[in-house]
Amino acid sequence: MMQAPLLTKSSTDQHIVYSSITWQQFKLIQAGFAESPGIRLAYYNNTIEILMPGREHEVFSRLIGFLIGLFCLENEIEFEPTGSMTQEREGEVSAQADESYCFGASKPIPDLVIEVVFTSGSLKKLQRYQALGVPEVWFWQDGLFSLYHLRNNHYERISHSEIPELATLNMDVLTRCVLMAQTSRLEAAIEFRNAIRSLE
């Protein structure tokens, strides 16, 4: 039996959680939202989460994605930005990240996913990505990044990316420029590009 939803709001996000949902019920709900691309759905452990991201959420997500793209361009790194594509393991888990990337070659499961978080729930998101086998997960929350790398089927907190292509990415600089971008996207991009080039 479907339980009453838990509705939370943070910033301008709307976040609804239903428990006691079967995979079959989730797929029906997912089909119902097929023509609503701005809505993100996730399913794990018989629970569905429906997220309607607000402006602030989307701005941070795009800024982070833009700066990572700039890093890859400046370092001539082949990458595939897969955005909020649906990642699924049939009958068990489904997730849509804010941003996701494959580095080098295209892969069915991305090398990196990034989540902008305005509420609690990072642990639940990690459980989903662990079930999917995503190698690395980053969270942006309260003006900081927290990074996790999948090792021996468990995520370990790390201080910098262990994805080879991102080995020279300075997370302190990235954090500073994401915060700076709230005032000026152009100044943040120039600052970030200059920091990258100073390492060449």
Which of 3.30.70.3270, 3.90.1570.10, 3.40.718.10, 3.30.70.3000 is the CATH number of 55-197? 3.90.1570.10
Residue 110, token pair as written in the block: 């991305």
What is the rounded distance in angstroms from the CA atom of residue 20 to the CA atom of residue 4? 10
Mapped onto helix, strand or coil, the DSSP state of residue 185 is: helix
Write down the residue that tokens 């797929």 correspond to.
27
- pTM beyond 0.85: the answer is yes
Residue-wise over 113-145: b if at least 16 C-beta within 10 A, else e? bbbbbbeebeeebbebbbbbebbbbbbbbeeeb
pLDDT score recorded for residue 2 = 46
Judge whether residue 1 has pLDDT over 50.
no
Residue 55, token pair as written in the block: 């402006």
pLDDT score recorded for residue 123 = 79
When pLDDT is averaged across residues 139-156 and rounded to a whole number, the result is: 95
pLDDT score recorded for residue 121 = 66
When pLDDT is averaged across residues 123-141 and rounded to a whole number, the result is: 94
Q: Which amino acid is at 167?
A: A
pLDDT, tens only, 73-125: 999 999 999 999 999 999 999 999 999 999 999 999 999 999 998 775 677 89
Residue 106, token pair as written in the block: 């295209």
Judge whether residue 8 has pLDDT over 70.
no
Average the pLDDT over each of 19-28, 32-41, 71-80, 95-104 and give the range with the smallest value.
Answer: 32-41
